[in-house]
Amino acid sequence: KQEVTQIPAALSVPEGENLVLNCSFTDSAIYNLQWFRQDPGKGLTSLLLIQSSQREQTSGRLNASLDKSSGRSTLYIAASQPGDSATYLCAASGGSYIPTFGRGTSLIVHP
Amino acid sequence: SAVISQKPSRDICQRGTSLTIQCQVDSQVTMMFWYRQQPGQSLTLIATANQGSEATYESGFVIDKFPISRPNLTFSTLTVSNMSPEDSSIYLCNVQQGASTEAFFGQGTRLTVV
């Protein structure tokens, strides 16, 4: 059974810092890995999707990498802003195509 | 991408009552799922909503408690039956156009049972 772990669980940083959020998964036989953002009490917004054949994806200040062999993905946030404050979740999809989620990293960026 | 409308966005309900949550997608999708997110926790899959047939439930979830309908490829409902305070959670509808494609979520339904 796939298990997804996210480190750190919480992060508080001053505005402008570059951040790295980590995601690890136990079963490397995945089809894709997806990063989401969740604001308090809300649904999930898709940020980046990395297919198993890809190594990374970029969108604006966000860059996500995938290393299937080591069971790891990282989300890099450049020049963080207070508006980036949210919970970030990663999800790995395997044989059933149903995403398995980590518990998330709660990020606070203070001015 | 798919645009998902989930209703209601939040509700406060009395214990013992039932609430039906609706998920409407702006295009036909192959796969629809319902998740629960308890306070401070990650997402737990409740069931896969199958078009025209009974939903497929995950371990720990049963049809009597969480009946699901999916009459077509753009719409599904989840009912939380005979609610108790332990059912207080965010309920989320998730869709995918096909296997290994991007997953999209509705805005979530924040349920509080008192």
Average pLDDT, rounded, for chain A:
94
Q: Could you read off the pLDDT of B54-64 as tens digits, one per residue? A: 999 999 999 99
Residues of B in contact with A42 (CB under 8 A): 107-108
Query: Are B90 and A41 in contact (CB < 8 Å)?
Result: yes
Cα B34 to Cα A60: distance, rounded to the nearest angstrom? 30
pLDDT of A9 above 90: yes
Q: Is A80:A86 a contact under the CB 8 Å cutoff?
A: no
Expressed in angstroms, the distance from the first to the final Cα of chain A is: 41
Which residue has better confidence, B25 or A97?
B25
Kindly state the percentage of chain A with pLDDT values over 90: 85
Among chain B residues, CA nearest to A103: B42
CB contact under 8 A, B43 and A46: no
| Rg of chain A over all Cα atoms, to the nearest angstrom | 13
A82 three-class SS = helix
- How many other CB atoms sit within 10 Å of the CB of residue B75? 16
Alpha-carbon gap: A14 to the closest alpha carbon of chain B (Å): 24
Of B42, B48, B107, the CB nearest to A43: B107
Chain B residues close to A89, C-beta within 8 Å: 42-43
Of A32, A36, A44, the CB nearest to B100: A32
A95 touches chain B (CB under 8 A): no
pLDDT at A8: 93
Residues A44-58 have pLDDT tens digits of 999 999 999 999 999
Residue A94 clears pLDDT 90, i.e. is over it: no
Distance in angstroms (rounded) separating the CA atoms of residues A80 and A64: 15
Q: Model confidence over A31-88: pLDDT tens digits?
A: 899 999 999 888 899 999 999 999 999 999 999 999 999 999 999 999 999 999 999 9
Residue B99 has what pLDDT? 65
CB contact under 8 A, A98 and B105: no
Q: Locate B112 and state its tokens.
A: 């509080």
Contact at CB, B108 and A41, closer than 8 angstroms? yes
Cβ atoms of residues B45 and B102 within 8 Å: no
CA distance A64 to A58: 6
Sequential pLDDT tens for chain B (114 residues)? 788 999 999 999 999 999 999 999 999 988 899 999 998 888 999 999 999 889 999 999 999 999 999 999 999 999 999 999 999 999 999 998 776 678 899 899 999 999
Separation CA A107–CA A15 (nearest Å): 12
pLDDT digits (tens, 9 = 90+) for B6-27: 999 999 999 999 999 999 999 9
β-partners of residue A10 are A106
In the prediction, which pLDDT does B34 show? Answer: 97
Subunit contact B108:A43, Cβ cutoff 8 A: yes
How many CB atoms are located within 10 Å of the residue A14 CB? 10
